[in-house]
Amino acid sequence: MSLFSIRADIAQTARAVVTASGRPYLLLLPVAAAVLSVWSVDANAQIDEPASLPEVKAQARRTLDATSEGNGSYTSNAATVAGKTATDLLDVPDSVSVVTRERMNDQNMTTVEEALRYATGVTAVTYGDSTAYYTARGYPVGIEFDGIAIASGLQYQPQFDLAFYDRAEVFRGPAGLLDGTGEPGGTVNLVRKAPADTFHLESETMVGSWSNYRQMLDVTGPLTPDGALRGRAVVVAQDRHFNVDHSRSKKLALYGALAYDFSPRTTLTVSAAHQVNTLPAFDYGQSLYTDGRFLAGDVSQNYSPSWNYGRTSMQEANANLIHRFDNGWTAQATVFYRHLLNTGTYAYAGGGVDPDTNLVDYSGQAQRMTTDWFGVDVHTTGTVELFGRRHTLLFGADYQSVWTDSLSAYQDLGYFDAFAPDTVPQANLPFDSHTKQRLEQFGVYGQARVQLLDRLTLVLGGREAFMNQQSQSLFPTVEDWSVNARVNHKFIPYAGLVYRIMPDVSVYGSYTKIFAPQTQTTYDGNALRPRSGEQYEVGVKGRFLDGRLNATVAAFRINDTGRAVADPAHATGSVAAGEARSQGWEAELSGNLTPNWSVYAGYTLLNTRYESDPYSLGQTLDGEEPRHLFKLWTSYRLAQGALEGVRIGGGVRVMSSTYRTPEAVQGGYALFDAQLGYRFNRYLDATLSVNNIFDRRYYARVPSSYFGITGDPRNVLLTLRASY
């Protein structure tokens, strides 16, 4: 049976299941049944006919492990983001970067935002309320947690502390094959720390500028004498003031994980997390003067009243069951759930500041929002031998949903001095809006890595995608659920080719389709068809110095068609006639130049343009993504002599001009950081970091009519790590 007939049978079965039951998650049943049948065949072969097993002709293959903890490197030779299991990055025909645990520690990263800010090709913009938004190649970036794609889980959403994660894998470009519908910027796979089979205890204490205090404890190891049961616990407490007057963040985060081996081939891993953040006097930042100029306030100026208050509470649970068959195949099932409660009462300035009086209109808002994410993924992967060569196959299905329930209130508070926000009175804000939204997405997918020649691999993949997005208003009257976007079925193809010109150097090319549903409607109320398009990418990857150093160069072009634009023939509504293009190239170097010298460097050249749009023709897709973006961090450890144990490090982020409105452009800038460390012994290490050492004034979020954030001035951080 061919791969095309398998794909057709899977799609037909999926549509039949959905049509008959009306329950999209039942799509998982055919794949689960297939996994169980393979399992039963494998088990029966062991019990009933042990003598009939075919002889294994292939030589033993090296098992790849993408875990970065303990590898002592700024690079990884494998990642799971491109195919559910650890795959050699030289064999992946896409751009993938890995922010390792070693680099997180050396750069004192404590948030997902900080990790992605130092990822090649990613622009991370802070939002002022401890959230951020992220773009790559001109488009928003999606999110996975341990390979489970979660819709609407990254942009403007709070995230768990970075201490919970082993690494961040960044896949740039459309990821519809494994993630489903969404923007073509890429996806980030956050991989949690797993329980270890040996005892390890780590303590991390940080003290920094503006009364920044943080303590982290991480303990892991076996819980039974035979090591079949292993555990891990991470605790984080932080009380942090900011350079902005009165602004503060308090965080308590807990993470626990258990792994149990039912047998050498079957392992169940469960984890849970809880985190609470409070944000007294948080500030969404400044507006512009009405003549388009930036405000001339001090970097410590808070433009919001001190009665602003926000609180987020998150809980998460995850379970993964994996079985490894005798024939080398594996089957996995994963269930993910996250709950978020976000409450706040606050005021913010907007609409422009009068340059003569400094008066600006303040709006008051209150909110209480709950969001529930749920995801299930089952897949099986392994190798088959055909025409004398070994090929790798992946088959799976997933389901994800997002439910939100939002209560909010709004009131215009009047005009006040932008530089005296405490004159804004705290208003009574009873809820006057109540909405609910739900998004469900599901699909079946497959991927084949076909070994055409010893050095030539063809990667083919496809996904049959289904999506439904609805909303409901419950105030002032309860309305029926309305459909915002719906896709009954859509096939998303993928193709790539990898050629190993040398054992440690590969060249590749890939083609990926874009599929992004739209919520805009036509003038008569009908839904617009989804956006479509494709990405073409070519690149070169190399591994040098006995595998210590990885280097990549890639060029890409994204054609984005069918975008919603204003209907030129009607006063209201949209038409799917817009076009856009994103193209550029990226380069990255990561790893160890010597056993004591670690380096990471990434550069991106990005050109985006609206090719067809009645109002934005010729403009860039996103002014907040710079055309040029360069990131560097390096660290050198002195291993002998009088200075043995000393570590010297530093880095720089350079970007060209950015804007949110063309009338107010921030010029390009560079931020330099420096670090000095000392390892007292095998257990104790200390570092002193100075960030923005030249005290460069810049905007972390360029002001527009609303919400401009000043970047941190020069600051100091002392970190003490103890490890046993």
Report helix, strand or coil for 613.
coil
Chain centroid to Cα 299, Å, comes to 30
Long-range contacts of 639-643 (CB under 8 A, 24+ apart): 639/595, 639/596
Does residue 685 form part of some domain? no
SS3 69: coil
Domain extent for 435? 1-48+229-239+247-451
Burial of 509 (0-12, 13-18, 19+ CB in 10 A): middle
Residue 82 has a pLDDT of: 92
Length of the chain: 724
Q: How many domains does the chain have?
A: 1
Residue 306 lies in a domain: yes
Tokens describing residue 358: 């400094």
Pairwise CA distance, residues 357 & 378, whole Å? 62
Residue 592: inside a domain: no
CATH of the domain at 413: 2.40.170.20
Strands (E), 49-160: 78-79, 87-88, 95-99, 122-126, 132-136, 139-140, 142-145, 148-149
Rounded to whole angstroms, how far apart are CA atoms 654 and 123?
12
- Please report whether residue 255 resides in a domain: yes
Residue 312 lies in a domain: yes
In a domain, 463, yes or no: no
Residues 6+ apart with CB under 8 A from 200: 218, 219, 220, 221, 723, 724
Look at residue 24 and tell me if it is in a domain: yes
Would 376 be classed as within a structural domain? yes
213 DSSP 8-state letter: E
Q: What is the DSSP string of 646-702?
A: EEEEEEEEEE--EEEETTEEEPPEEEEEEEEEEE-SSSEEEEEEEESTT----EEE-
Handedness of CA 357, 361, 364, 370 (dihedral sign): negative
In the prediction, which pLDDT does 45 show?
39
Q: With a threshold of 0.75, does the pTM exceed it?
A: yes
Sorted by sequence, the CB contacts under 8 Å of residue 677 that are 6+ apart come out as 635, 646, 647, 648, 649, 685, 686, 687, 688
Task: Please state, in angstroms and as integers, the Cα–Cα distance from residue 284 to each residue in 288, 302, 702, 711, following that order.
Answer: 13, 9, 12, 13
Low-confidence ranges of the chain (pLDDT < 50): 1-61
Sign of the Cα pseudo-torsion (362, 299, 107, 650, in order): positive
CB atoms within 10 A of CB 50: 8
Reported as a single tens digit per residue, the pLDDT across 335-393 is 999 999 999 999 999 999 999 999 999 999 999 999 999 999 999 999 999 989 999 99
For residues 302 and 280, the answer to whether their CB atoms sit within 8 Å is: no
- The number of angstroms, rounded, from the C-alpha of 200 to the middle of its chain's C-alpha atoms is 28
Is residue 249 a contact partner of residue 236, using CB atoms and an 8 Å limit?
Answer: no
Q: What is the pLDDT of residues 219-278, one digit of tens each?
A: 999 999 999 999 999 999 999 999 999 999 999 999 999 999 999 999 999 999 999 999
Whether 160 contacts 316, CB under 8 Å: yes
DSSP symbol at 40: H
Question: Is the Cβ–Cβ distance between 348 and 432 less than 8 Å?
Answer: no
C-alpha dist (Å) from residue 622 to 125, 395, 436, 701, 710: 12, 36, 29, 13, 20
Kindly write down the DSSP assignment for every residue of 71-93, as one continuous string.
Answer: S-SS--SEESTTTSS-EEGGG-S
- pLDDT, position 24: 40
Rounded Cα distance, 718 and 721, in Å: 10
What local confidence, expressed as pLDDT, does residue 44 receive? 38
Tokens of 703: 């002001």
